[in-house]
Structure 1
Amino acid sequence: MRSIWNGNISFGLVSIPIKLFNATESHAVSFRQIHTADGGRIRYRKVCELDNEEVESAEIGKGYEDADGSIIPITDEDLAALPLPTARTIEIVAFVPLASIDPLQMGQAYYLSASGVPAAKPYTLLREALSRSRKVAIAKFALRGRERLGMLRVVDDVIAMHGLLWPDEIRRPEGIAPETDVTVRDAELDLADALMDTLGEIDLDTLHDDYREAVEELIAAKSENGGAISPAEPDSGRGGAQVIDLMAALENSVRAAKTSRGEHADGEGDADGKDAEVTDLKSRKKASARKSTAEKTADAPTRKKSAASGSKKTAAKKTAGTKAAGTRATSTGATGTRTAGAKATGTGTRAAAKKKTTAAKKTAAKSTATKKAPAAKTSARKRASA
């Protein structure tokens, strides 16, 4: 691996000599521009517009085009003389949590290597300090003619640096979000959560570029067949924007995800075991409206009969209730009459009995008094004769 930049990491008063390496590489298939008539290569030549002469790379310099169209030459010596402390230094300015960095800012990634044996100790010190603090370092550095912002973090046993965009280089997402008010139901969110849980996590190492592989196969096929291949069938599975049944689409997605993971989607789908189809919402609404109208028309006679029967039953219940209420009232009145008569009769009988008893006592007293009177007179006469 060849280094692309040499310099130092400035960590306070500690200076760490380092080398910079590209951490990523592109595996995209490269194409050349050709003349379609004969297959010849199309090449660009750098030509001076003043003398119409082709210019070699060694003769090409830098220049800034002013507002009036004039060119101001800028040499490498001019740039080297700028009072820029980061010209050959990665200057650490702060340590922040990784979560505070917006992924939109992240750009090209680099590996930083210690340059020479004396740099190993301070390099290891910075690496271990970053690991223990669980933070990343924010730094400024100059590369390819301009000052840049970077983020240093630990990857395995190496310090990596991500180029960051300056905050004013991030566009605001104005006018991007949907302007219409959309309501998402809880049932739809539940299905979306279920789909997320079903898809689960994945090992990124298992992902690969399907398009690149297809292009490579296309190139190999054309190379073997002298440039002639059979045309592929057009993919008609994905058309333009369509109005879909979101619930059915989510259910089918969960079912398909479970099937791809070797799971059985028990309780999913229709009663006959078939998957639900994604249908157009307008067609579904029209069919539902027609079905509702037909059901109402078919059920009209039944509802009329049910209503008449219900009215008759209600009237019968009211009549029976009235009769029962009258019977209860009559029974209650009779019971009250009987009770009052019984009370009156009992009271009269007791009074008559008392009167008879009193009369009998008076008669017995008179009889006793009458009997005692002659006996007293006879005793008095006997005492007088003696």
Structure 2
Amino acid sequence: MRSIWNGAISFGLVSIPIKLVNATENHSVSFRQIHAADGGRIRYRKVCELEEKEVTQAEIGKAYEDADGSMIPITEEDLAALPLPTAKTIEIVAFVPASEIDPLQMDAAYYLSANGVPAAKPYTLLREALKRSNRVAIAKFALRGRERLGMLRVVDDVIAMHGLLWPDEIRQPEGVAPQSDVTVRDAELDLADALMDTLGEVDLESLHDDYRDAVEAMIAAKAEGGGAAVEPAPAEREGGKVIDLMAALESSVRAAQEARGEGAEEPAGDEARVTPIKGRRSAAAPKEQGGKKSTSAAKKTAAKKTTAKSTSTAAKKSASKSTAAKKSASKSTAKSASSGSSSSGGASKKSASKKAAPRKRSSA
């Protein structure tokens, strides 16, 4: 990577020679301006107003425009002669916790590379000191004709520097917040928390620029066949107007759960859960119109009654058959008992007559 600035980090009495390298790059698709009628390129030419002719980059200098419109020329030598200690130095002025830096102040990011072998030891010392302290360094430096504020922190094994806006460059958010008084209920906050927990975290490495991919695909299709063979954009989601905030939150939670394959199961432990809204009709409850049940519900009720009647009739017939069988069995038992008693009576009479006969003979 090509360095854009050479200088040193001033760390107390320690000086660390470094190179400044861009840490980010722009992947946006660039377009050229053309004449729509014939496709000719539209170019901007730098022309001197006094001579009315085009000039080269080497002939262009800097100037400050005064209030009356006059130009005050400024040369690179004039800027280099300024008594500014940060002209070629990143001067560390303080070490603070990273939480004290407002993200609104973040600007461009750079990598700081040790410039030469002698710079390796002090560079490593500063890097390890930042790691162990869990703090960031606040520094001042000059780049592209102006003094800037920076924040030094450790990224992997490299010291990175984020350009910071000066505090007076951050605009106050006056008139941005809603002007009307709005009350948020606990149930709405619970659903919002549930939605955030259901969406969960994301691996930032998995995110990419879908718009850039679509533009590149369109350009490739046009270059090959002259036509734009691009799939149409997906339809916009419904719900531009929020009618019922609670319903929208509930639907969002359910959609997020389905997208993650969780279904509508009740979360366990401390996980977020969807709080049902009191008074809201369940989707499974039958609808009523004018105090009458729906036709499908009436049919189901009639079917249940018919089934119950048939079941009751069958049970009665079965019970009557069982009673008749019991009566028949009791009659058969009575007949058997009567026959048995008569036979036993006859036998006993015969036995008694036989015993009486010998007694008469002996008396004679």
Q: Indicate the TM-score class for this superposition, using the shorter chain for normalisation.
A: 0.7 to 0.9
Q: Offset at 1:51?
A: 1.4
2:90 corresponding residue in structure 1: 90
Q: Spell out, residue by residue over 1:13-59, the C-alpha distance to the aligned partner (whole angstroms, 9 max, x if none).
A: 00000011000011111111111101111111000111110010000
Work out the CA distance in 1 between the residues paired with 2:165 and 2:107: 7
1:337 corresponding residue in structure 2: none
- Higher share in helix: 1
Q: TM-score, normalised by structure 1?
A: 0.68
Output aligned runs, 1:1-386, within 5 Å. Answer: 1-229=1-229, 232=232, 235-237=235-237, 242-266=241-265, 271-272=282-283
Work out the CA distance in 2 between the residues paired with 1:233 and 1:15: 55
Number of residue pairs matched by the alignment: 277
CA shift in 2, pair 1:98/1:234, >3 Å: closer
Q: Which amino acid aligns with 1:37?
A: A
CA shift in 2, pair 1:93/1:206, >3 Å: same
Q: Offset at 1:231?
A: 8.4
1:306 corresponding residue in structure 2: none
Q: Which amino acid aligns with 2:108?
A: Q
Work out the CA distance in 2 between the residues paired with 1:224 and 1:244: 48
Percent sequence identity is 77
Q: Offset at 1:243?
A: 3.6
Q: Spell out, residue by residue over 1:266-289, the C-alpha distance to the aligned partner (whole angstroms, 9 max, x if none).
A: 377985579xxxxxxxxxxxxxxx
CA shift in 2, pair 1:186/1:71, >3 Å: same
Gaps of 5+ in 2: 267-273, 292-364
Work out the CA distance in 1 between the residues paired with 2:128 and 2:256: 42
Q: Offset at 1:242?
A: 1.9
Work out the CA distance in 2 between the residues paired with 1:83 and 1:91: 14
Conserved 8 A contact 2:218-2:228: no
Work out the CA distance in 2 between the residues paired with 1:58 and 1:154: 39
CA shift in 2, pair 1:183/1:74, >3 Å: same
Q: TM-score, normalised by structure 2?
A: 0.72
Work out the CA distance in 1 between the residues paired with 2:26 and 2:252: 33
SS at match of 1:252: helix
Q: Offset at 1:187?
A: 0.6
Q: Spell out, residue by residue over 1:65-101, the C-alpha distance to the aligned partner (whole angstroms, 9 max, x if none).
A: 0000000000000000000000000000000000000
Q: Spell out, residue by residue over 1:290-317, the C-alpha distance to the aligned partner (whole angstroms, 9 max, x if none).
A: x99x77xxxxxxxxxxxxxxxxxxxxxx
Work out the CA distance in 1 between the residues paired with 2:170 and 2:234: 38
Q: Offset at 1:223?
A: 2.0
Q: Which amino acid aligns with 2:247?
A: A
Work out the CA distance in 2 between the residues paired with 1:217 and 1:175: 42
Gaps of 5+ in 1: 275-290, 296-386
Q: Tell me which stretches of 4 or more aligned residues in structure 1 moved more than 6 Å.
A: 267-270
- Which is higher, the Rg of structure 1 or of structure 2? 1
SS at match of 1:129: helix
